[in-house]
Amino acid sequence: MISPTAQNLDDDAALRRSTVLERVSEGVVALDTDLRYTYVNERAEQILDAPRSQLMGQYIWDAFPESQGTVAQDAIDEAMATQTQQSFERYDSALERWFEVRVYPDESGLSLYFTDITDRKASEQELAQKNRQLSALVANTAQAVYLKDRAGRYQFMNEAAASLFGLAPEDAVGKRAEDLFDSESAAQIRRIDEQVLADETADSYEATRFIDGNEHVFLDNKYPYRDEDGTVVGIMGISREITERKRRQNTLEKSRQRLKSLFDDLPDSVVIHDAEGNILDVNRQTVEDLGYTRRELLSMNVSDFEVGLAKAELRTTWRTMEVGDRAKKRGRHRRKDGSTFPIKVWVDKTEIAGETHFIALSRDVTEPLRKEQQLEALTEEYRALLENADDAIFFVDVEPTDSGPEFRFERLNPYHEAATGLDSDSVQGKTPREVLGPDLGAELEANYRRCVEARAPISYQEELEMPAGTRTWQTKLAPVTVDGAVTRIVGIARDVTTQVRREAELRRKNERLDEFAGIVAHDLRNPLNIAQMRTTLSVEDPSYESLHREKVLEALDRMEAIITDTLVLARRGNEVESLEPISVTDLTAQCWDMVEADAASLVVEDDCTIEGDPDRLRHVFENLFRNAVEHSEGDVTVRVGRAGESVLYVEDDGPGIPPADREAVFKPGETSQEGGTGFGLSIVKRIAEAHGWTVRLTEASSGGARFEFSGVEVLSS
C-alpha cells in the first residue's frame, strides 16, 4: 500500500505515481504508525535483500533485529517522536553501495527513501585524499584550527580561524573567547571546554556564534590536547563554518515538510511524458528546479526546457527504447528565467494503463561538477607545485608491519632528481636501505620513524652522500594521516650546502682574526714598552743616547718582524693562488740565498719536480732554513730530500727539538729563540695545509730536527 495522499488521487494519477515509485532509482518504503511495512518498491526490495511479500505487515525490528540499537533505530525513533525529518547513511555490503536514508513522518506513519550516494562518497573520499596531501605541503587549511591551554587562552590559531576576527594568527595568541565572541557565545564555549577537559573526551556539536554582530553557524569538533606524558594540557579544535549550508538545509527542510506524498518527496525532478515528449505529470522538485508552475509545465513539451539534447536526439532515444529499458543521458535544463544548469537524466520506458509512457528522473549536477573541477584544479596545483618547486620534494609511503612501519619511496620531484642524481622510476617502491645502502638508509628511516611517532612535522639538518655528490640539506617531514593512521610522509629538503660552508668559513676567519689580534696585542707589548722606556731614558740621560737609540731600533725591528709574519700568516697562510711545476733544487737554492748562513750548508739529496705555489713555498723553506741556522748558531747542515712516493723532508744536524715541545712549535707566537717572532713554523704548517699537505716534526738520524711533508704531488724525479 502507499500513503493516504496517494490513495485520494484519481485512479490514473495514482496508477502513474505508483508506477513511478516502482521505476525510480531510489528505494522507497512506507511504515504505518506501528512501524509495520505498508509499501516496499522494487529497488528497496533489492537494497534490503528481502522479498516485499515477506516484509508487508511485518514489524520493522522483527524483520531486521540486527539494526536495533544502531543509528537507524535512533533516526526512526526520533522521527516518530518529534515528527521531523531524519536521515542517516547505510552501507550495503551485498551491493557494495552506500545509501543515504531519509525518514519523513506524516499522519499515516513514516516514509523512508534510500538514495544511492556511492559516487558521491567516492568523489568525497578522492577529494579528501587530495586535500590531505596538499595540506601536508601547505601550512594552512580552509577550516579554522586552534589550540587553547587549560585556562582558555589561545596558543595557536591558523589563518582561516584568525581571519574570522580580522586578526593575524600571531595576534590571536593569548586571547580568550571573551575577547572574540559575544558574552553568551563565550559562556557556552567555556562550558563545553570545561566539559571536554573534565571528561577528557572529544566533543562535536553545531553552534551558532555572533562575531561583530553577524551570525555564523559552525560545526565544532573539540579534542583534549595532551602533552608527551599523556596529560591533558588544553584543547585542540577544528571549526567548519556551515552558515550557508545550514541556511540551505533549513530552507529545504521547510519545503520538504510541506510535501504530503511519496511522489512529491522524491528529491530529484520527475517528469512523466508520452512518446512525443508532451508532459503528463511532474513532481514538486521539477517545479522548483525550472521555476514554472505545475500548470504551466503540464502544457509544455520536454524539448521546451531541455536545451542540452537536440529534439531529434530525444525522439530517437524514445523510439529505439523497449518497454523496461533505461537510458542514461547528460543534458541541460533551462529555467523560466532563462538561466541553465547541467543535469543527469535517467529515462525509463514503461506502460501505464496500456499506454506507453516515459519517466524521466533528472538531477542537478552543478555541485558535483564544481567538485570535479575543483579536484582537477587541485590536481593541477599539486602538479605545478611539484614540477616547479626550487626545493627537493619527495613522498614516502608508510606501510605497517609486525616489526613496525616500513618506508618505501613513492615519488621525487624534478628538482630532487636533478640535485641528488636519483629518479622516481628507479626508487619507486624501494626502501631507503635498498636505494642508499644500509648505513645511510638506516639513518633516513630513523628520521621517518621519528615523524610517524610524533604524528607532527619535524625539521632537521642532514649531510647526505648521493649519486650527484655530498650535500647538506635542511629537511622538513610532514605526516599524512588517513583514518587515524600515518600512511605517507611528505618531505621538503632545501640545499644549504653553500650556506653551511660559508658559515664555517666565516667562523674560521673570525677565529683566526681573534687569534691574530691576541698575538699582536701580546707580542707587540714588550718591544713597544722597551722602545718607550729607552726613548724616555735617552732624554733623561743624554750620555747613553747612542745605546738607547740602538735598543729603540732593535725594538722597532722586532715589531716590524712580528707585523710582517702576522700578515703573512693572516693573509696568505691558508691559500694558494696558482699551482705550477717547481724544481726543488732551484726553489731551495733561491730560499737559501735569503738566509744569513755563512757557516751553514745546504744539501739537496733528491732533485725532483713538485706541484705547488712558488710564492707560498718560499715562505716554507726560508722559515725552515732560518729556523735551523738560528737554533744551531750558524754551524749546521740542512738536507732536503724525498722519503717515499709523496713525502718531502727538510732536516738538519742541529740540537733538534724535544718531543714534548714538537706540537707546540707550530702554534703562533711559540718560540725558544730570543728575538724570534714565534710565527715561522706556524706559517710553515698553514701553507702546507693550503697545499693539501700534512707536516710532521720528528728527529733526524743526526739528532737534529726533521720536518716531513706528506701528500706532496711529485711530477718527476
Task: Take residue 176 and report the three cell numbers written for it.
Answer: 580568550
Phi then psi for residue 65, to 5 deg, are -65, -25
H helices, E strands: number in the chain: 27, 28
**Candidate from 199-203, 370-374, 557-561 with smallest mean pLDDT:** 557-561
CATH 3.30.450.20: which residues of the chain? 4-117, 139-247, 268-368, 389-495
The highest-level CATH class for domain 4-117 is alpha beta
**pTM for the predicted model, two decimal places:** 0.33
| pLDDT for 511 | 66
Residue 119: CA count within 13 A, CB half-sphere? 7
| pLDDT for 252 | 57
The confidence band for 11, taking pLDDT boundaries of 50, 70 and 90, is: low
Q: What is the mean pLDDT of residues 245-260?
A: 62
Task: Take residue 684 and report the three cell numbers written for it.
Answer: 710553515
What CA–CA distance (Å, rounded) separates 532 from 556? 10
Classified as helix, coil or strand, 682 is helix
> For the sheet containing 714-716, what is the strand order?
580-583, 609-612, 714-716
Q: What is the mean pLDDT of residues 680-693?
A: 83
CATH 1.10.287: which residues of the chain? 496-572
Cα dihedral 72→73→74→77 (10° resolution) = 130
CATH architecture of the domain with residue range 576-716 = 2-Layer Sandwich (3.30)
How many other CB atoms sit within 10 Å of the CB of residue 254?
9
**Is the confidence at residue 687, as pLDDT, over 90?**
no
What CA–CA distance (Å, rounded) separates 180 from 212? 9
Q: What is the mean pLDDT of residues 75-83?
A: 93
In this structure, are strands 485-495 and 601-604 parallel, antiparallel, or unpaired? unpaired
As a three-state string, the secondary structure of 148-210 is EECCCCEEEECHHHHHCCCCCHHHHCCCCHHHHCCHHHHHHHHHHHHHHHHHCCCEEEEEEEE
CATH architecture of the domain with residue range 389-495 = 2-Layer Sandwich (3.30)
The confidence band for 17, taking pLDDT boundaries of 50, 70 and 90, is: low
- Category of 203 on φ-ψ map: left (φ > 0), alpha (ψ -120 to 50) or beta: beta
Looking up cell 710553515 gives 684
Question: Based on the number of CB atoms within 10 Å of its own CB, is 470 exposed (0-12), middle (13-18) or buried (19 or more)?
Answer: exposed
CATH 3.30.565.10: which residues of the chain? 576-716
The confidence band for 9, taking pLDDT boundaries of 50, 70 and 90, is: very low
Classified as helix, coil or strand, 147 is strand
Domain 496-572 belongs in CATH node 1.10.10: no
| pLDDT for 680 | 56
Task: Take residue 70 and report the three cell numbers written for it.
Answer: 544502531
Q: Select from 3.40.50.1980, 3.30.450.20, 3.40.50.40, 3.50.50.60 the CATH code of 139-247.
A: 3.30.450.20
| pLDDT for 224 | 94
CATH of segment(s) 268-368: 3.30.450.20
| pLDDT for 125 | 80
Alpha helices in 181-310 (DSSP H): 183-199, 243-257, 262-265, 284-290, 294-298
Cα dihedral 584→588→591→592 (10° resolution) = -170
